[in-house]
Structure 1
Amino acid sequence: MFTSPSSETRSAMARRRWKRPSASASQLMSDLLAEVDVKINGGRSYDMLIHHPQTAERILACGSLGLGESYMDGWWDCPRLDEFIARILAARLDEQVNNFSVLMQGLRARLFNLQNIRRAWRVGEHHYDLGNDFFAAMLDSHLTYSCGYWAETNSLEAAQTAKLDLICRKLGLQPGMRLLDIGCGWGSLMKFAAENYGVQCLGLTISREQAEHGSLRCAGLPVEFRLQDYREFNRSGHQRFERVASVGMFEHVGRKNHQGFFEMVRRSVSDDGVFLLHTIGRNAGRIPTDPWIDRHIFPNCELPSLSQIFDSCEQGFLIEDVQHFGADYDPTLLAWHERFEQAWPSFAPRYGERFRRMWRFYLLACAGSFRARVNQLWQLVLSPKGVPCGYRRQL
C-alpha cells in the first residue's frame, strides 16, 4: 500500500539525492522543488521558469546568493515570486543547500563587530540614500518604512497611520513631552506625534538624505533631526526624555552591540519614562544574515531573537508588553511592491533593469519570508522601574 513520505523522510531522500554523483543539477533541484509542489517550467503562478541552462548549478552551488543573483541577471522568473519563496522557506529547503557564503557570513559575524561605528554608516549610504523621490513613490504619504498595522484596514495608507497612532498610544504621549526617536528615518513618527499629540521630538539617523528631507517635511514643527550614530549620542547622560522609541532600526545594531544600545536608551529615558522597540526578528539567535540581503540590500544587518533582546535589556529595564504582528509585514511588502512597479517607468533610466529585478526580489522574497513565518515583527514596551500600578496596552 502506497503512503506519502513524511516531510522528514522527504528531506532525507533529498539529501541522499544531493549526494548522488550521477544526478544532474537540474534533476536535483527539480527533486527538491517537488517537495513543495513547485515545478520547473510549469504553468502555475508559483512555478519556476528557467531561461539559462546553468541556473540550477549556480543556485545549488551558492544557495540564496545564487538564487537572488541569478534572478537579478534574468536567468529565471516566477510570476508569484513571493509564493515561490514562501513555499521554499516554510519547508526549510534553503537549509538543505548549505554553501560557503552562508558559512562565511556566520564566521564574519562571530569574529568581527560588523555593526561598529565605522561600518554603521554604510547602510545609510548604500540603502537609505538611494533617493527620497524613489522611496516617496514606494511608501505611503507618511514615508513610513516599517511594517504597517492591518488589523482594521486593507490600505497601506490606513495601515501605516494606524501603526503610528498605535505607537503613540502605547507610549502614552501627552502634550509637552519630549520624544527621542532612534533611527527616525524621514521623521514619520515624529511628525505624526508632534501634529497629533503635541510632543517635542529629536530624531537620530545615519542617512544624510533622510535628515535633509525630513527636516523640510517637518518645518514649523517642534522636531529636530540629528545626523548621528546612537553610540555618539548623550554619552554624558545629561539629556533625558519622557519617551523613547526605535522603529525598524534595531535590525542594524547587531548582537555584539545590543547591550550598549540599551545602555544608551537607559541613559536617555527618564526614570519614570517608557521605551518602545519595534523590530523584525528571528525565532532563534545566531542565524547568519542571508548573504544576498547582506550584499545587495542591508549591509551588516542582523535580526535579533527575543531571547537576545531580553538578555541585553534585563539589567536596565522591565518588560511591560510584547506584541507580535509579523504577519502584517506580508501585505505591507506587497503594497510597496505594487507601488514600486507602478512608479518604475519614472526610475528606469536612473537605476536600470538589474536594479529593478533586485528590488523586486527583495520586496517579494521578504513578503514570502513573513508569510512562511520565518521572520517575525515585535513591538516591546519597556520601562526603567515599572509603570506605577502596571502598564495597560493601549489598543
Structure 2
Amino acid sequence: MWIMALDRLLAHLMKRGRLRVTFPDGSTRSYGDGQGGPDVGLTLDDPSLPRKIVLSPDMAVGEGYMDGRLTIEDDDLYGFLSLAISNIAAQGQPWFRRPLEGLKSLMQRIDQFNPVARAQANVAHHYDLSGELYDLFLDADRQYSCAYFRSPDMTLEDAQEAKKHHIAGKLLIEPGMRVLDVGCGWGGMGLTLARDYGAHVTGVTLSREQHAMANARAEAAGLSDKVTFKLMDYRHVTGQFDRIVSVGMFEHVGQPHYNAYFDTIHRLLAPKGVALIHTIGRAGPPGATSPWITKYIFPGGYCPAMSETLAAIERNNLVTADVEVWRMHYAQTLRHWHDRFMANIDKVRALYDDRFCRMWRYYLIASELTFRLNDQVVFQFQLSPDQRAVPLTRDYLYHPTDTDMGHRQVAE
C-alpha cells in the first residue's frame, strides 16, 4: 500500500531529470523524463520509509539520509536535492498530500511560540555547539549570515566584510552614536561598528557561547569601553538607541512574536533613529518551515514572507524607508561554507560522529539549493519612526561623501 502511495507521489513530482528508486522489497522504478536535470539513484533500506516519506517527506528523507537508511548512488546528495527541490517547486504537492501540508501550516504557530525560556533553549540547540565546529567553516570573523558578493569571485572573508559595511552604510552611523545589536552573534558586527565607525555598541544574545566569545574579542581588541555584549532576550532591553541592527536573528523570532519584536524596535529607537533588519525570507506568500529543519537545525525558526513582515512593521508605527532584496548571495555563501566544512570533515567527525556529519552536510546543501531553486532570498528592511531620517535616494550607499568615508577611519 505505502509503496504504491509513494510511487504515485514520485510520479506526480518527478517530471524533469531522472530519479531511480530501489524500494525495500527490492523492486526498482524510474521517474522523470531524463532531460534537464540530474540522473540520481536512491535506495530505501528501511521498510518503514515509504510510509514515512508519504506522510512527511522532509522529515523522512532527512532522517533517512542521516541514519544511513536511505542511500544515494555515489553519495550524490547535491544532485538528489537539486532534483527533488526543483521538481517540488515546479509541481507542488499532489491532492492527496494537501491536507497534511495544511496541518503542517497550522502546527507552525505552536512550533514558533518562543517565550524567553524556550527561545533560549532553541538558541542553545544550534549556537552553543562546539565553538571549534564554527571555526571549521566560517570566516575568521565568524559571520554566520549571508555575505554580500559585490563580484562573484570575492573570497568569503571579503564578502562578509562587504556585508558589514553595506549595513553600516544604511545605518548612517556617526561617531558616538548608541547602537543596539539584536542577536549579536560572536560580536563581529558590533566590533566593526565600534572600531571603524566610532559607535558605542550594546549587543544582546541568548547564546552563552556567543556571549563569552564576543566579550573576550572586545577585550582583546581593546574595545571594551565601546562595546558591551549582554546575555539577555531582546524583549528585556531598556534605554534608547540612535541605531538598531539585527542580522540573521529575525528568523528565530517566530511569527506569533512579530508584533512584540517590532514594538520593541519602536520602543528602543530614538525619534529620528534608524534600524536595519537583515533576515532570510521567502519571495512567495507565507508558508511553513521544514519539520526536519525545525527538529534538527533551528527549532522555533521561520523565514517570513515580505507581506507578513511589513504588516507587523506597519502595525508598530515604523516607516519602511527602504527594502533591499538579495538574490543568490546566500546560495554562494552556503557553497563556501559547505566546501570548507567538507575540507575539514575529519575534524568534524572527531568532534561529533558520522551521523552529525551527514546531518550538517544535508543542512548546508539543502539550504543552498533552496536559495538557488525555490525562491528563498534575503530581505533588508531599513526602518525609522521618522520618514525623513534617511536620504531620499540610495546615492549615499554607492557614492559616499568624504565625510562618510571618514567614519571608517575614526578609530585610527
Please tell me the TM-score bracket, short chain as reference: 0.7 to 0.9
Task: Identify the residue that residue 121 of structure 1 maps to in structure 2.
Answer: 120
Distance in 2 separating the partners of 1:35 and 1:109: 30
Does 1:31 pair with 2:11?
yes
Distance in 1 separating the partners of 2:274 and 2:106: 36
Deviation readout 1:159-193 (Å, 9 max, x if unpaired): 11111110011111222112111011111111111
Distance in 1 separating the partners of 2:173 and 2:50: 54
> Quick check: 93-102 or 78-87, which moved more?
93-102
Counterparts in 2 of 1:51-70, with a 5 A limit?
52=45, 54=47, 55-70=49-64
Output the TM-score relative to the length of structure 2: 0.83
Residue 344 of structure 2 aligns to a residue in which SS? helix
Offset at 1:361?
0.7
Distance in 2 separating the partners of 1:200 and 1:283: 35
Task: Identify the residue that residue 13 of structure 1 maps to in structure 2.
Answer: none
**Preserved CA contact (<8 Å) 2:282 2:375:** yes
**Preserved CA contact (<8 Å) 1:283 1:376:** yes
- The alpha-carbon distance between structure 1 residues 316 and 216, as it changes in their structure 2 partners (threshold 3 A), is same
Distance in 1 separating the partners of 2:95 and 2:350: 39
- Could you tell me which amino acid in structure 2 is paired with residue 224 of structure 1? T
**Preserved CA contact (<8 Å) 2:134 2:142:** yes
Offset at 1:282?
2.0
- Could you tell me which amino acid in structure 2 is paired with residue 323 of structure 1? E
Residue 319 of structure 1 aligns to a residue in which SS? strand
**Preserved CA contact (<8 Å) 1:181 1:244:** yes
Task: Identify the residue that residue 17 of structure 1 maps to in structure 2.
Answer: none
- Could you tell me which amino acid in structure 2 is paired with residue 218 of structure 1? A
**Preserved CA contact (<8 Å) 1:61 1:99:** no
- The alpha-carbon distance between structure 1 residues 349 and 104, as it changes in their structure 2 partners (threshold 3 A), is farther
Does 1:157 pair with 2:137?
no
**Preserved CA contact (<8 Å) 1:63 1:99:** no
Task: Identify the residue that residue 167 of structure 2 maps to in structure 1.
Answer: 167
**Preserved CA contact (<8 Å) 1:115 1:301:** no
Task: Identify the residue that residue 296 of structure 1 maps to in structure 2.
Answer: 296
**Preserved CA contact (<8 Å) 1:240 1:268:** yes
Matched pairs, number: 371
Task: Identify the residue that residue 358 of structure 2 maps to in structure 1.
Answer: 357
Output the TM-score relative to the length of structure 1: 0.86
Task: Identify the residue that residue 388 of structure 2 maps to in structure 1.
Answer: 387
Task: Identify the residue that residue 406 of structure 2 maps to in structure 1.
Answer: none
Offset at 1:56?
4.1
**Preserved CA contact (<8 Å) 1:125 1:207:** yes
**Preserved CA contact (<8 Å) 1:250 1:279:** yes
- Could you tell me which amino acid in structure 2 is paired with residue 66 of structure 1? A
- Could you tell me which amino acid in structure 1 is paired with residue 15 of structure 2? E
- The alpha-carbon distance between structure 1 residues 99 and 373, as it changes in their structure 2 partners (threshold 3 A), is closer
Task: Identify the residue that residue 230 of structure 2 maps to in structure 1.
Answer: 226
Distance in 1 separating the partners of 2:308 and 2:7: 40
Offset at 1:62?
2.3
Deviation readout 1:115-141 (Å, 9 max, x if unpaired): 122211122210000121111211111
Task: Identify the residue that residue 177 of structure 1 maps to in structure 2.
Answer: 177
Residue 56 of structure 2 aligns to a residue in which SS? helix
Task: Identify the residue that residue 204 of structure 1 maps to in structure 2.
Answer: 204
Offset at 1:25?
5.2
- The alpha-carbon distance between structure 1 residues 332 and 251, as it changes in their structure 2 partners (threshold 3 A), is same
Offset at 1:153?
4.2
**Preserved CA contact (<8 Å) 1:282 1:375:** yes
Counterparts in 2 of 1:1-395, with a 5 A limit?
24=4, 27-28=7-8, 30-32=10-12, 34-40=14-20, 47-50=40-43, 52=45, 54=47, 55-74=49-68, 75-77=70-72, 78-79=75-76, 80-81=78-79, 82-93=81-92, 98=97, 102-110=101-109, 114-154=113-153, 155-219=155-219, 220-221=222-223, 222-234=226-238, 239-314=239-314, 315-388=316-389, 390-393=391-394, 394-395=397-398
Distance in 2 separating the partners of 1:134 and 1:101: 36
Offset at 1:99?
7.7
- Could you tell me which amino acid in structure 2 is paired with residue 352 of structure 1? D
**Preserved CA contact (<8 Å) 2:12 2:94:** no
Structure 2 gaps, min length 5? 22-29, 399-412
Residue 218 of structure 1 aligns to a residue in which SS? helix
Distance in 1 separating the partners of 2:123 and 2:90: 34
- Could you tell me which amino acid in structure 2 is paired with residue 201 of structure 1? V
Offset at 1:356?
0.7
- Could you tell me which amino acid in structure 2 is paired with residue 274 of structure 1? V
Offset at 1:284?
4.5
Offset at 1:92?
4.2
- The alpha-carbon distance between structure 1 residues 367 and 243, as it changes in their structure 2 partners (threshold 3 A), is same
Offset at 1:96?
6.3
Deviation readout 1:293-321 (Å, 9 max, x if unpaired): 00000001122111111111123211111
Distance in 1 separating the partners of 2:168 and 2:39: 39
- Could you tell me which amino acid in structure 2 is paired with residue 35 of structure 1? K
